[in-house]
């Protein structure tokens, strides 16, 4: 009867692996023929092969392996070779972890289970960090001894990685908020609960981080009686933003009630389905400006009687006013970008919330939400970088340009940007001369002009971009402050609403805009004007109400040789090796943790230090380092000082700096040499991989 049972176990069923077990030549295997196997193995094997859950059996002290169809993807390229092999031979890459676990079950007979266990598996010839839930259960022979181990488990790598990215994106969003000028907060739901707030908001409100998650009426009770909560209710219910200027608000700051004068915006936020789910708050404290204006007015009223003794005080008051006006300009700029920033935040917050809900349900299919959050955060990061570049007045990087080719290459981009309701036509001048300018800035100028033209044609229209050669005589050049000579001209013409003479007179002024608040910064045309004049050119504006606008950009003709064609860029192998060690030095613990984990993911061996002295102690302790990856601005010792000290100890050391400065600002402020390798924050994993690989291979 026992023999019939053994024969029946392997006679049929079990899917592909059942067929493989029956086809295997067990007569030459240490386990011998199946008819001689113990009943416990036959029973366990029947359960294993017919289970739909990933299941394996490790039999005997040598742990010979059997497994079912559901388990076969786990060993990857080791399948089907793994059938009948010793466990230590199948899993040499993870045996240091699972080997002792198997041994404990064999010796004690007690089961074992673990969750989200990290196993460094080799897949496709490369070691990969994987995570697993699995259990080991002892299989007892007829004599009650442990004959083998019953193993079931599933991979949780996707959920772990998604959770990490979710946390990283939340931290990145908070970092972007902390960099934004002005006080900013996001309130969620009809009770206006604090969801996000930056340090400037805590400073203005006089509160600490314990207000997060609390309704505004509870966190700032003094604003209820002043009508601000009712105003928030109105914005939430109607979807109409509210803008306030020079509004007095009483706040409890540092234990006492203070009156501050603020400019602020309440702007509704919407989820991915378009429903209002919160309010974006941006505020600028203009108390100093208001006081300075009052002081200046008071001083002027009695100036005739006190000219001699009050001159010094007047100068101080005017200086305070100028400083306050500078801060007011930043406030205007912040208000102008609030709409763009709000749209980016709506995408990031909604994607993170949906991803959070999916993960809570055990659904790890969150790739599209991750991509949406990363895209929104990257666009917000780009906006922050443009603000930094504007404040530092970045130097130009000119090169020889064929404007015809440049305009043609941008046509598809402009078509997508402007939309189907705008028809684009290009008219190229024959034999167009080359010019010498910054190509990125010229492309940005054309996009700025095209977007302005689109906004002037809300019902659709035609945009014409035309190039031509032209000359400027001494009379015209003298009137407009540009040299006489030969120029190329790029004309951008729309069929929009046009401008009045009053608007044309201010069109190139910084922060001037005719758009609604939140629809534009007022910087586009001023940046175009500044770039063109810095390039030795000229901008001319023609417009008529109801008939459209033409902007002509004149750039000097270039007489030099054409730039040599750039050699094709070879693909760089970005993955590293455990034989290459990188020392990460960063005083911000979140950035240090991200950089370290990212470099480990890329395959490098990684050490880390919170500051320069700590890094040097590790070097002096004998650490072998191939690359020093250090922040520039740190307490005690900056990045350049650390690099100099490290190179004195390790002359062959490679160095890569990371910095939050706007591009080129660190060089032109004298902090770095222009040939120094730099990676600018915030950076992506691909950017980190490319810069590290380049630095190591240089």
| Statement to judge: residues 134 and 62 lie in one domain | yes
- Identify whether 564 is part of a domain: no
Q: Do 534 and 541 meet the contact criterion of CB atoms below 8 Å apart? A: no
Is 281 in the same domain as 168?
yes
Question: Which residue, 74, 78, 21, is CA-closest to 48?
Answer: 21
Contacts 24+ apart (CB under 8 A), 242-251: 242/266, 243/335, 243/517, 246/286, 246/290, 249/223, 250/222, 250/226, 251/204, 251/205, 251/206, 251/220, 251/222, 251/223
| Residue 601 within a domain | yes
pTM over 0.85: no
Residue 6's pLDDT is 42
Last residue of a domain, one of 357, 390, 423: 390
Same domain, 409 and 537: yes
Q: Is residue 422 part of a domain?
A: yes
Structure tokens at 439: 């190509």
What is the C-alpha separation between 335 and 692, in angstroms, rounded? 38
Least confident of 99-103, 253-257, 381-385: 381-385
Examine residue 300 and state whether it is found in any structural domain, yes or no. Answer: yes
Are residues 166 and 151 located together in one domain of the fold? no
Q: What is the pLDDT of residue 450?
A: 86
* Inside any domain, residue 569: no
Query: What is the CATH number for 473?
Result: 3.30.565.10
Give the 3-state DSSP-derived string for 390-445, with helices as H, strands as E and coil as C: HHHCCCCCCEEECHHHHHHHHHHHHHHHHCCCEEEEEECCCCCCCEEECHHHHHHH
On whether both 174 and 46 belong to a single domain, the answer is no
Q: Is 18 helix (H, G, I), strand (E, B) or coil?
A: helix
Q: Which of 74-83, 534-543, 619-628 has the lowest mean pLDDT?
A: 534-543
pLDDT tens digits, one per residue of 440-494: 788 878 888 888 888 888 888 999 999 999 988 888 888 877 888 999 999 999 9
User: Of the ranges 537-551, 559-573, 588-602, which one carries the lowest mean pLDDT score?
Assistant: 559-573
Q: What is the pLDDT of residue 40?
A: 92
Whether pLDDT at 108 is above 90: yes
Each residue's pLDDT tens digit, 366-382: 787 787 777 767 766 65
Which of 556, 573, 606 corresponds to the end of one domain? Answer: 556
Q: Does residue 9 sit in the same domain as residue 83?
A: yes
Q: What is the domain-level CATH number for residue 331?
A: 3.30.450.20
Co-location of 494 and 384 in the same domain? no
The verdict on residue 567 lying in a domain is: no
Residue 668 has pLDDT above 70, yes or no: no
**Number of domains forming the structure of the chain:** 4
Kindly state whether residue 23 falls inside one of the protein's structural domains. yes
Q: Answer whether 525's CB lies under 8 Å from 507's CB.
A: yes
Handedness of CA 382, 388, 391, 394 (dihedral sign): negative
Can you give the pLDDT at residue 521? 43
574 assigned to some structural domain: no
Q: Is residue 129 domain-shared with residue 220, that is, in the same domain?
A: no
By residue range, what is the domain housing residue 272? Answer: 162-390
Q: How many CB atoms lie within 10 A of CB 617?
A: 11
Give the end of a domain, one of 390, 423, 454: 390
Residues 127 and 226 occupy one common structural domain: no
CATH of the domain at 644: 3.40.50.2300
Contact 359, 366 (CB under 8 A): yes
> What mean pLDDT, rounded, does the chain reach?
82
Instruction: Confirm if 345 and 384 have CB atoms less than 8 A apart.
Output: no
Q: Are residues 543 and 633 in the same domain?
A: no
Based on the fold, state whether residues 18 and 93 are members of the same structural domain.
Answer: yes
Query: Could you tell me if 550 and 604 lie in one domain?
Result: no
Report DSSP letters for 227-241, one per residue.
Answer: THHHHHHHHHHH---
CA atoms 629, 632, 633, 634: torsion sign = positive
């Amino acid at each position: 009867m026992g023999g019939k049972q053994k024969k029946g176990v392997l006679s049929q069923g079990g899917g592909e692996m059942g067929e493989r077990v029956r086809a295997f030549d067990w007569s030459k295997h240490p386990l011998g023929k199946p008819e001689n196997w113990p009943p416990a193995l036959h029973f366990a094997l029947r359960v294993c092969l017919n289970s739909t859950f990933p299941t394996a059996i490790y039999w005997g002290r040598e742990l010979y392996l059997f497994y079912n169809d559901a388990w076969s993807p786990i060993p990857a390229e080791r399948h089907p070779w793994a059938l009948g092999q010793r466990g230590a031979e199948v899993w040499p890459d993870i045996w240091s972890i699972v080997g002792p676990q198997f041994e404990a079950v064999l010796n004690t007979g007690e089961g074992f289970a673990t969750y989200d266990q990290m196993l460094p598996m080799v897949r496709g010839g490369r070691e990969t960090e994987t995570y697993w839930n699995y259990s080991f259960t002892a299989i007892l022979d007829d004599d009650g001894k442990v004959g083998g181990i019953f193993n079931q488990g599933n991979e949780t790598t996707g959920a772990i990685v998604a959770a990490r990215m979710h946390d990283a994106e939340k931290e990145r969003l908070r970092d972007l908020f902390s960099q934004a000028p002005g006080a900013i907060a996001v309130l969620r739901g009809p009770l206006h609960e604090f969801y996000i707030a930056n340090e400037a908001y805590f400073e203005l409100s006089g509160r600490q981080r314990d207000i997060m998650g609390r309704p505004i009426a509870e966190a700032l009770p003094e604003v209820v009686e002043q009508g601000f909560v009712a105003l928030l209710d109105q914005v939430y219910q109607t979807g109409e933003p509210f803008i306030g200027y020079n509004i007095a608000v009483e706040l409890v700051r540092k234990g006492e009630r203070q009156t501050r004068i603020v400019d602020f915006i309440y702007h509704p936020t919407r989820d991915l389905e378009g429903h209002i789910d919160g309010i974006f708050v941006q505020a600028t404290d203009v108390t100093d400006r208001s006081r300075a204006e009052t002081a200046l007015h008071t001083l002027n009223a009695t100036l005739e009687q006190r000219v001699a003794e009050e001159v010094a005080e007047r100068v101080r008051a005017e200086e305070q006013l100028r400083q306050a006006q500078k801060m007011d300009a930043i406030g205007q700029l912040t208000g102008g970008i609030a709409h763009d920033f709000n749209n980016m935040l709506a995408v990031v917050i909604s994607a993170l919330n949906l991803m959070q809900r999916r993960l809570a349900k055990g659904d790890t299919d969150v790739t599209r939400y991750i991509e949406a959050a990363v895209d929104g955060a990257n666009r917000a990061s780009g906006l922050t970088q443009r603000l930094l570049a504007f404040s530092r007045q970045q130097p130009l990087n000119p090169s020889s340009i064929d404007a015809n080719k440049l305009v043609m290459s941008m046509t598809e981009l402009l078509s997508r940007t402007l939309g189907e309701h705008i028809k684009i036509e290009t008219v190229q001048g024959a034999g167009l001369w080359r010019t010498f300018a910054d190509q990125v800035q010229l492309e940005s100028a054309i996009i700025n002009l095209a977007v302005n033209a689109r906004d002037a044609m809300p019902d659709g229209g035609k945009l014409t971009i035309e190039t031509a050669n032209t000359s400027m005589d001494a009379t015209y050049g003298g009137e407009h402050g540009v040299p006489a000579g030969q120029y190329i001209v790029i004309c951008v013409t729309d069929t929009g609403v046009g401008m009045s003479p009053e608007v044309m007179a201010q069109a190139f002024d910084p922060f001037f805009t005719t758009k609604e608040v939140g629809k534009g910064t007022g910087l586009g045309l001023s940046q175009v004007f500044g770039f063109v004049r810095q390039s030795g050119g000229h901008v001319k504006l023609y417009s008529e109400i109801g008939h459209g606008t033409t902007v002509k950009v004149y750039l000097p003709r270039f007489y030099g040789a054409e730039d040599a064609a750039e050699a094709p860029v070879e693909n760089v192998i970005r993955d590293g090796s455990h034989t290459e060690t990188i020392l990460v030095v960063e005083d911000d613990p979140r950035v240090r943790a991200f950089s370290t984990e990212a470099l480990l993911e890329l395959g490098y061996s990684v050490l880390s230090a919170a500051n320069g002295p700590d890094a040097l102690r590790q070097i002096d302790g004998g650490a072998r380092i191939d690359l020093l990856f250090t922040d520039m601005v740190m307490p005690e010792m900056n990045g350049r000082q650390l690099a100099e000290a490290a190179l004195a100890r390790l002359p062959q050391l490679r160095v890569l700096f990371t910095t939050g400065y706007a591009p080129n600002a660190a060089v032109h402020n004298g902090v770095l040499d222009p040939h120094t390798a730099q990676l600018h924050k915030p950076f992506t994993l691909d950017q980190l991989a490319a810069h590290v690989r380049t630095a190591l291979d240089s």
